[in-house]
A and B are shown apart, each in its own frame.
Chain A
Amino acid sequence: MAERRVKTSTLAAGLKGFWFQFRKSKRGMAGLFILCIHVIVALMAPFIAPNDPIRPTWPGYFPAGEAPLAFMMCVPSWYKYLGREVSENMEVIDGYTFASEQALQKWNVAISQPTRVSLSYNPTGGTLNDGCIEITYSRQANEAAGTSSIRLSYRFTYPYKAHPQRFWIHASYLINGTVSPSTSVHVSFSFFREDAEPLANYTYRGPTYQKDSLLVYEYPLITYDFYSPVSPWRHMWTRSTKREIFEKPWWYRAPEAKIFPTSGNYTFTVDVTFNDQGGARTQQVKVYLDNLQVLLYGNAYGLLGTDADPAAPRDLFSSLIYGSRVSIFVGLLVALISVTIGLTIGLTAGYIGGVVDEGLMRFADLLMVLPTLPLLIVLAYILSPSIWNIVMVLSFLGWMGFSRNIRSVTLSLRERSFVEAAKVVGAGRFYIIRKHIFPNVVPLVYLALSLSVPGAIISEASLSFLGLFDPNVMSWGRMINEFNGSGVAVTKGFSDYWFWVIPPGIAISSLAISFILIGYALDEILNPKLRMRR
């Protein structure tokens, strides 16, 4: 038991002394502070970043397919405090609209023929059997045919002066009826603006709506002709599109701007029209509507806006936050691996010497004289740019300098008499390297670790900038690469989209600088000659 009382490890004591000296270095503490911020951000990324960094989507239940998180090339939402007119994302009608009877109370219902058309809430219907609305049309065989309709209106306030960039309307529907084939059901969505000037000659696909002082914009959802009486649930998105931009008149080019020219009160309506062409039978049609959601996409999003991906724009702030993970991970892992390789090779070459030394050092020279960046690009390309391959390639090309360093120190250490003293008591090579040489190079290992991290971070960012990034992870280099690739700098001007490039740039350099500052502090501790006189 007595032996256990004796301290046999020097590591803890060494670290304590190390910290005591490190604490005195202002540069070192500043570096450590910056590094801590980065590490905390990287660890807490899922809590800090609101969205997925690669394929963010609008949260919610959309059986018709995911909706994008935001419109492309949004500006930061805090631009509104700078006096800019911005519009933000808005969920006019959320997914629970038709999920309860209370929610239905908010809607205004107008029925043209109340005897034939009725609206009710079906608590067990819907795509998830959690309730939906049910519109019933029924006509007795002896009654006259004709058109009947029901209008559900939802009044809301649009708060932004700037118009939205897009609107997406999601709906699921099911139609079930026993009718004559000539009967059709028509469901459409419309936006109305209160107090709007009439717009002359405004037509769009189908019926023209121009009623007193209301601007009408109508989107047909379905026109259902009864070839088969029962349909399964259908889910669909209806969205403003710019596809017909060259075919339509000028005012069509930005329908959102026409509908929402400014802030104010608006009405969203769902119209269901039953075109009963007659028939001797009793007509009965049930229209079930569920999962109705109306999304308006603004031109501002999040803390740093969004990128220019047309299909699924990313939240740049989330990308920035998650990017720290990649940089720290790659930086630390590459430093760890390359320092381990360098240490092993340096110790082996230095202690064993001879042919082994020559072989290893010539191999190191060979790798050293190869131009690094082209080699990195070729290797990363051949191996396919996954994050592990990038780590492997960077580690493989990062150990040579340190191994030479360790070799030279080992060459001098192995001639020290404490090594001979160990030989005299019969210690083997491995024992001497482990117990005598290694503890004396440990400070160099710390130094090399901290100084090889920034190189690895910047190499990773360079590779990513050149397009050799892992498609499954977001990194800072990739953000800059995507800015470069989007052409925004050319088409829109760099200063309009500075928030896309400057933050990742600052992040890369501040992380690199933090390690360099720590390295300086370590260097100061390990090389007393550099210590400033105080």
Chain B
Amino acid sequence: MTETILKVEKLKKWFPITRGLLRSLFSRRELYVRAVDEIDFEIKEREIFGLVGESGSGKTTTGRMLVRLIEPTSGKILYRGKDIVSMSDEEFKPLRKKLQMIFQDPYESLNPKMTVFDILAEPLRVQNVAHGDEIYERVCKILEDVELTPPQEFLQRYPHELSGGQRQRVATGRALILNPEFIVADEPVSMLDVSIRAEVLNLMLQLSETHGIAFLYITHDLALARHLCDTIAVMYLGKIMELASADSLIKEPLHPYTKALLAAVPVPDPTSKRAEVTIKGEIPSPVNPPSGCRFHTRCPQFIGEICKKETPSLVEIGSHHYVACHLYR
């Protein structure tokens, strides 16, 4: 049994909505965007954990909380049993070496005024783990790891002199250079050309195997998640709806929302019949989320008052297959 590297307990992030002075004088009710609302999950060593959901479901917020880019409103994030939420910045700084992140947009996540060498050397310098020639050697090594060879050719380039795929490799290299145990990958290929996605993804897979890194892979693409992930969690409006191993989630989706998502995945076969599960409308506002089950307003399998009144909790149905739906009580 592999060890749990990261455990999330009742993690919650409500963003307060700032209002004008006049309005706040007349109304005392404070409004919040409930981006993430009490979610629990755990990630094991070397596991690739997929977080899937529509836009606005809170997956990116979750990922950013795990590396402490955002302070959670409440809840715990336990890294090897230690709660990183309650740590001070100084206490957490050495742990940052172990928890890294790859950002969505490689055009944004690399400082345009820095050379590739500076970008890759920055984590080493900030964390003060290498000096002088050692920095140079580690940077060259990591460039080879992310298949930007020969490294010397890339060291002095600026991000604008690189292609999208090369940039994301640099960003990946930057996340890897501190030898982390866990990386949050926030839709790392969504901004890339389809033709180079596979390359970058395979590189990441390979690196996770060789370096033994656990990933939290955030995506809205279920097909990609299935290909890549060991475990998949489906999020909707700040809640986890279903959590299972990739195979069982895709083969036997239990939650109506998961089913709808799977039905929406395009199949490259014009003759295949599509399941007739469709959901209508837009995702509701996270400021006033629906009562009870968050999904009841759009649910094709709505079963009555209970869905409106009671929030379903995540219960284990099969082996390592959790679902939050009143259908499975």
Interface residues in chain A, defined as those with a beta carbon under 8 Å from any beta carbon in chain B: 1-3, 6-8, 10, 14, 416-418, 420-427, 431, 435-436, 439-440, 442
Contacts and interface: CB of A to CB of B under 8 A. Distances in A.
Nearest to A436: B111
A434 to B, nearest CB: 12
A8 B113 CA distance: 11
B98 to A, nearest CB: 11
A10 B161 CA distance: 14
29 contacts: A1-B133, A2-B133, A2-B136, A3-B136, A6-B155, A7-B117, A10-B115, A416-B108, A417-B103, A418-B108, A418-B109, A420-B101, A421-B101, A421-B103, A421-B109, A421-B171, A422-B126, A425-B122, A425-B123, A425-B127, A425-B178, A426-B92, A426-B93, A426-B127, A431-B126, A435-B114, A436-B111, A439-B113, A439-B114
Contacts of A425: 96, 100, 122-123, 126-127, 174, 178
A418 to B, nearest CB: 4
A436 B171 CA distance: 16
Nearest to B101: A424
Interface in B122-143: 122-123, 126-127, 132-133, 135-137
A419 to B, nearest CB: 8
B87 interface: no
Contacts of A422: 111, 122, 126
Contacts of B121: 8
Interface of B: 64, 67, 69, 92-93, 96-97, 99-101, 103-105, 108-115, 117-118, 121-123, 126-127, 132-133, 135-137, 155-156, 171, 174, 178
Contacts of B123: 425-426
Smallest CB-CB A-B distances: 6 pairs: A425-B123, A439-B113, A417-B109, A426-B96, A418-B111, A3-B136
B118 A424 contact: no
A441 to B, nearest CB: 10
A319 to B, nearest CB: 46
A417 B174 CA distance: 13
A78 B272 CA distance: 101
B122 A427 contact: yes
Nearest to A6: B117
Contacts, number: 85
A6 B100 contact: no
B108 A6 contact: no
Contact of B133 (A3, A420, A436): A3
Nearest to A7: B156
B69 A424 contact: yes
Contacts of B136: 2-3, 6
Nearest to A422: B122
A8 B108 contact: no
A418 B115 CA distance: 13
B69 A439 contact: no
Given A2-B136, A425-B178, A426-B93, A417 B100 contact: no
A212 to B, nearest CB: 92
B110 A418 contact: yes
A14 B118 CA distance: 15
Given A6-B117, A8-B117, A426-B127, A417 B105 contact: yes
Contacts of B92: 426
A426 to B, nearest CB: 4
Contact of B115 (A8, A423, A424): A8
Nearest to A11: B113
A380 B101 CA distance: 55
B117 A417 contact: no
Contacts of B135: 3
Nearest to B106: A417
A17 to B, nearest CB: 11
Nearest to B174: A421
B134 to A, nearest CB: 9
B133 A424 contact: no
B96 A424 contact: yes
A436 B101 CA distance: 18
A1 B137 CA distance: 11
A440 B112 contact: yes
